[in-house]
Structure 1
Amino acid sequence: MRLIGLAGWSGAGKTTLLAKLIPCLTGRGIRVSTIKHAHHRFDVDQPGKDSHVHRQAGAEQVLVASSLRWALITELRGAPEPRLEELLGHLSPVDLVLVEGFKRDAHPKIEVFRVANEKPWLHPEDPAIRAVASDAPPPGGLPRAGLDDVEAVADLALRYAVPWRS
């Protein structure tokens, strides 16, 4: 498996770009999985569902399965947040893993930057950023694709993705 991240401030367009990038890459015959770093209080489970009842009753893990998909919900119950490396170990092998968030980790990343967001560039402080998807030229001369040029962003992702060592 190869790995590349998309990093940027909230509102820069990471999720929007990923939603376009995934079908672009799968259209090229590349099998893709994603890992998304979420807000601290996110929940994939809903009150009133049986799985939620199981978790509230104290189950450490709840696996929900149907004929279309399955999901494993693990309660941390005070344990430290899992590191990206640990989470990657839960994925089935694919050609490319796209990581959204985890901007402080050292894996190679493409910075997603939007001028209207009025936030600073990340790459001057993060040597793991290899390229930029933005609506403005980056300082420092990093390779750049426009935010709407999904094919060019896909090319950058494939160029800078690295094998993940399991």
Structure 2
Amino acid sequence: MKIYGIVGYKNAGKTGLMERLVTEINGRGLRVSTIKHAHHSFDVDQPAKDSYRHRAAGAQQVLLASQSRWALMTELRDQPEPPLSDLLAQLAPVDLILIEGYKRDAHPKIEAFRAEANNPLIAPEDTSIRAIASDTPFDTDRPVFNLDDTAAIADFILAEVGL
């Protein structure tokens, strides 16, 4: 499977770009999955629901299934966060996996950047960032795309991964 990342600081436009890229690339007939890294605790389950009660009782994994979808929840229970490679191995085969976050990993990435967020650019210190998607121009040795030019960014990513 091919992988490509979108990184950037908070409020840089990562999630919006990911959403638009998934729509654009799916529209081209390719199958896309995503991985999103969260820096905080999160819960996809609701208190008082059966699956939540299973986890609260101590189950290591709970698989919730219906006619529309299934989800596998794994409790780390004081174990370290698994590396990206272990998570990638859990996904079903697709044409492309887009990864939001994991900026310290070595896979190829595009940095999302918004001037109003007032954060520094990550790219100068990270050679795995192959391009920048921004709302402001940059003088850099890497391609710079308008943050809203989803088609051009998708073209770049697909060319980079050979799709």
- TM-score by length of structure 1 reads 0.94
| 2:35 corresponding residue in structure 1 | 35
| Structure 1 residue 46, shift from structure 2 partner | 1.1
Post-superposition offset of 1:24 = 0.5
| 1:85-116 deviation digits (Å, cap 9, x = unpaired) | 00000011100000000011111100001111
Aligned twin of 1:153: 153
Matched residue, 2:87: 87
Correspondences of 1:51-70 after superposition (within 5 Å): 51-70=51-70
Aligned to 2:126: 126
Deviates more, 1:50-59 or 1:39-48: 39-48
For structure 1, the 5+ residue unaligned runs are none
| Structure 2 stretches lacking a partner, 5+ long | none
Tell me how far 1:39 sits from its aligned partner: 2.9
Q: Is the 8 A contact 1:108 1:162 kept in 2?
A: no
8 Å contact 1:61–1:73 — kept in the other structure? yes
Quote the offset at 1:162 in angstroms: 7.3
How many pairs align? 163
The alignment's C-alpha RMSD in Å is 1.3
Structure 2 match to 1:103:
103
Aligned mates of 2:101, 2:162 — CA distance in 1: 17
Specify the alignment match of 1:26 in structure 2. 26
- For residue 73 of structure 1, what is the aligned residue in structure 2? 73
* Partner secondary structure for residue 71 of structure 2: strand
Q: Which region of structure 1 is more displaced relative to structure 2, 136-145 or 83-92? A: 136-145
**Which one-letter code corresponds to 1:51 in the other structure?**
S
Q: 1:162 to 1:120 in 2, by over 3 A?
A: farther
The whole-number CA distance in structure 2 between the counterparts of 1:39 and 1:23 is: 25
The alignment status of 1:44 with 2:47, answered yes or no, reads no
TM-score in terms of structure 2 length: 0.96
Instruction: Please give the alpha-carbon distance, in whole angstroms, between the structure 1 residues aligned to 2:139 and 2:89.
Output: 35
Aligned identity (percent) is 57
Is the CA contact (8 Å cut-off) linking 1:3 and 1:98 kept in structure 2? yes
